[in-house]
Structure 1
């Protein structure tokens, strides 16, 4: 029996120390780390290696179960892959242990609530954006082309005396921005 740990961060900038400390405290013998890898990806380099070396009687520990997947289906499929090899899954934060039927049931319930939380946040974000749009607020980066620049661009393009590159330089915008503006004229 081997105790394996699995760490995943979504970006390279995220710090995995908290996960590592928790796994070392759980006395794992080998830790697999995927840094800068989305939890939605079915294939993750170190996760794939872990799945290849995993055998019956082994244990897989994670700091939180969302480290093995970003939604209910991802988490449940990952746990199924672990238990399908005769190994057990342990989530330290949620205190989930699939060595018994209660642990598996709790995992399913916890994963469902985590998915509900993510979906609720996404729904609130969409509602907030729609409310702002209804009030006339537009999200995103402010345009570099104000009304004055737009008038200048229109007259320079209409004159036909200047190249697109010259117009962009004269107005103080990139040629790519100029071409986008011209398409809307």
Structure 2
């Protein structure tokens, strides 16, 4: 019997330090990708690793599933059918055998809230981008070159040579060249 931890963050810029603090774990799986789907490589490794009698600790429901109540219930049912106990630490939910109707309902509600939270984040992000565009802010990475630089270099260099010199693609050279002629 092993105590196994699953930690997940969305990007490599983030860290998992705050997850599963003070829980004695025999094995820890860490993943750096979105929980918008349950089809994630480290999650699959975690499930494959677990054996009868093990207990899986997950910091919170949103660490493993933001894709809806159905996925959350399916995850717990899959693991408990292998006789693996599951604990969502933050929510204080533990499952060690077949779920009761009440447990399924609570899990479904919490998973739905996690999915709603994800949708709200996306909605706010879209609204913020729209507002920035309306204010005339340039979005995306700043260009490595200006239309003026491209125009000057194109007087003596080919598109490919200009692109190489500026460290940009030929398509970007063409785009900046068009911008400088308008």
Calculate the TM-score normalised by the size of structure 2: 0.71
Say which SS state the counterpart of residue 65 (structure 2) adopts: coil
- Higher helix residue share: 1
Matched, 1:180 2:139: no
Matched, 1:94 2:87: no
Query: Do the aligned residues in 2 keep the contact of 1:68 with 1:78 (CA within 8 Å)?
Result: no
- Bigger drift between 62-71 and 117-126 goes to 62-71
Query: Do the aligned residues in 1 keep the contact of 2:7 with 2:58 (CA within 8 Å)?
Result: no
Say which SS state the counterpart of residue 121 (structure 1) adopts: helix
Structure 1: which 5+ runs fail to align?
Answer: none
Map 1:57-68 onto structure 2 (within 5 A).
58-68=54-64
Calculate the TM-score normalised by the size of structure 1: 0.70
Map 1:43-58 onto structure 2 (within 5 A).
43-45=40-42, 47-55=44-52, 58=54
The root-mean-square deviation of aligned C-alpha atoms, in Å, is: 3.2
Of the three residues 156, 162, 165, the one matched with 2:157 is 162
In structure 2, C-alpha distance between the alignment counterparts of 1:167 and 1:77, rounded to whole Å? 55
In structure 2, C-alpha distance between the alignment counterparts of 1:71 and 1:62, rounded to whole Å? 16
Q: Which residue of 1 aligns with 2:39?
A: 42
Higher alpha-carbon Rg:
1
Distance 1:103 1:164, change over 3 A: same
Map 1:65-144 onto structure 2 (within 5 A).
65-72=61-68, 73-99=70-96, 101=100, 102-144=102-144
Equivalences, count: 171
Once the two structures are TM-superposed, the CA of residue 69 in structure 1 deviates from its matched residue by 2.8
Structure 2: which 5+ runs fail to align?
Answer: none
